[in-house]
Amino acid sequence: MSRITNMSYGKTSVPVMKVVRKEPAHEVWEFVVDVTAESPELERSYTEADNSPIVTTDTMKNLVNYLSFSHDFTSLEDLALDICRSLQKRYDHLQKWTVQIEGAGWERLAPGGAVHSISFARTGPEVSFTTAVVDGTKSSLRSGIRDLLVLKTTNSAFSDFFRDEFTTLPETRDRMLATSITAEWKVPPSEIDHAGINHSIREAILRVFSELKSESVQHLAYETASAVLESIEEVEEISLRLPNKHYFLVDLSPFGVDNRDTLYLPTTAPHGDIYLKLTR
């Protein structure tokens, strides 16, 4: 006899643009929403082709649109929590709901230095996201960023590592360090100042990246996570994924040139990948 050990369903990638036509300047919120429902009540939809417990994913999309319109939110965190709780309240035969929102950055255009009230340019490649979960009477909230590409041209070392006959990597006390930061942090699922907290976390991450004399990406990850926990009290936990995007010195010696720390070959794959989760 087989048994279901996991089941869920939902709507993925509902795209939304909201324009708030305020004075003196319009605001735009563009984001993509994923909704997922989980409940033992759904089992008969799988095993007996009984669709009666299924809230259609099209209905989920309708509610995402309706709530995005009617809720005068000031952060995607507030909206994600609202959608989550509205879904659970309305469809109370389904106990657990997860709502993830990814935001697209738009900044005001300022040609000639004058900030414009109705025109915007897309920023990137960095993406912000937030995930709200309600499960019965419990709820949680995590927010984060991904695709924040950064590099430093010095103040990064990697030496004194484990060696054996398969180790050909030379030690270095000075290398380029480049990574694409993914960070996710857990904060209280309430209407605190999410925009402010997110900004402070991002600043702390970039400050450690800029200032640390790093001995390894592991070292950087730990010092970064520690600095966030120390400086922003609302953060209960933070995880970091830091790929090591290698830049290799190009050998120009066949052409009579000594390429000392100047010309590098950017690479994508393969790359190192370092992960850490730190909890208060």
Nearer to a copy of itself by Cβ, of 96 and 264: the residue is 264
Q: How far is CA 258 from CA 96, 157, 200, 254, in A?
A: 61, 21, 43, 10
Q: How far is the CB of 132 from a copy of itself (least distance, A)?
A: 17
Catalytic residue among 18, 26, 57, 152: 57
Element (H, E) at 97: strand 96-104
271 is catalytic: no
Task: Tell me how far, at minimum, the Cβ of 134 lies from a copy of itself, in Å.
Answer: 18
Residue whose CB is less far from a copy of itself, 138 or 269? 269
C-beta separation of 155 from 205 below 8 A: no
Contact in structure between 129 and 103 (CB atoms under 8 Å): yes
Q: Which of 266, 268, 269, 265 is nearest to 251 (CA)?
A: 265
Q: Is the CB of 21 or the CB of 138 nearer to a copy of itself?
A: 21
Considering the complex, what minimum distance in angstroms separates the CB of residue 39 from a copy of itself? 12
Gap between the Cα atoms of 26 and 164, Å rounded: 61
* Nearer of residues 5 and 137 to a copy of itself, judged by Cβ: 5
**Is 22 designated active site?**
no
- Catalytic residue from among 186, 194, 245, 246: 246
Q: From the CB of 131, what's the least distance to a copy of itself, in Å?
A: 15
Does 18 qualify as catalytic in the annotation?
Answer: no
Q: Are 205 and 228 in contact (CB under 8 A)?
A: yes
Residues with catalytic roles: 11, 57, 246
